[in-house]
Amino acid sequence: MRIRVRGAVPSSRSVHRIAFLHEGRNPGEGAPDAARAAIAKAAAAGGFRGREKEIGGALTSGGGWTLVGLGKPPAPLGRLRRAIRRAVRDALAHSGRRLVLVFGSGIDPASFMALLPQLALADYAFHRYKSRKAPRDGAADAVIVPPPGVSVTEASRQAKRAAVIAESAAATGLSATGVTLMVTVAVKLFWALRFAPAQNVPLPV
């Protein structure tokens, strides 16, 4: 899936908007500034509270929203991955291939960056023979609005790296489970090396 990180929500009504929110009396308060008013209105209209696995939806003046509950903050990475997988899969199956994914507060920068390769692979389809692989021309397109506190510039940079990881993983022809495992290991290694203190340890030959 082609992913682009933006600080604003597209105004087009032809996109499917999904917000991932932690539990609270008013989950919309934790949404990014660019979408806070619309999401708060959608949450209030449907009585959405952000409980784990809770799904809500509402039509606002700016378009429709699907609201996905993450439960009490902070949601562990595994819970985030599962919520994204279900929501994106359902959206691609029923609502076309143009998505807007908005993430609320309670997701730290490292966890958010770790989610980007999974998002880039969200529409990956496995076929046993490479000659039968789904064409990339039909790839979905998603605008991603990061949670408050995450730099849009840095997230955009990491999204480009995630796209490279996703393309490399998809080219292996592995099953969806195998690709997910491969990407997870690659992401963990990347962040371990990024934040590890500098040490004079020789690399294995």
Whole-angstrom distance, CA of residue 156 vs CA of residue 56: 28
Spans in the chain with pLDDT lower than 50: 126-137, 193, 198-199, 201-205
- Please tell me the predicted confidence (pLDDT) of residue 186: 56
- Please tell me the predicted confidence (pLDDT) of residue 84: 92
Runs of H (alpha helix) within the chain: 36-46, 77-94, 109-120, 152-171, 176-195
- Please tell me the predicted confidence (pLDDT) of residue 73: 92
CB 69 within 8 A of CB 110: no
- Please tell me the predicted confidence (pLDDT) of residue 62: 65
- Please tell me the predicted confidence (pLDDT) of residue 203: 43
- Please tell me the predicted confidence (pLDDT) of residue 190: 55
pLDDT by residue (tens digit) across 91-143?
888 776 789 999 999 999 989 998 998 888 877 654 433 434 444 445 688 99
Number of alpha carbons in the 13 Å side-chain half-sphere of residue 165: 28
CB 66 within 8 A of CB 17: yes
- Please tell me the predicted confidence (pLDDT) of residue 33: 92
- Please tell me the predicted confidence (pLDDT) of residue 19: 96
Q: How many CB atoms lie within 10 A of CB 37?
A: 13
Whole-angstrom distance, CA of residue 52 vs CA of residue 88: 16
Whole-angstrom distance, CA of residue 134 vs CA of residue 115: 23
Structure-token pair, residue 32: 């990014």
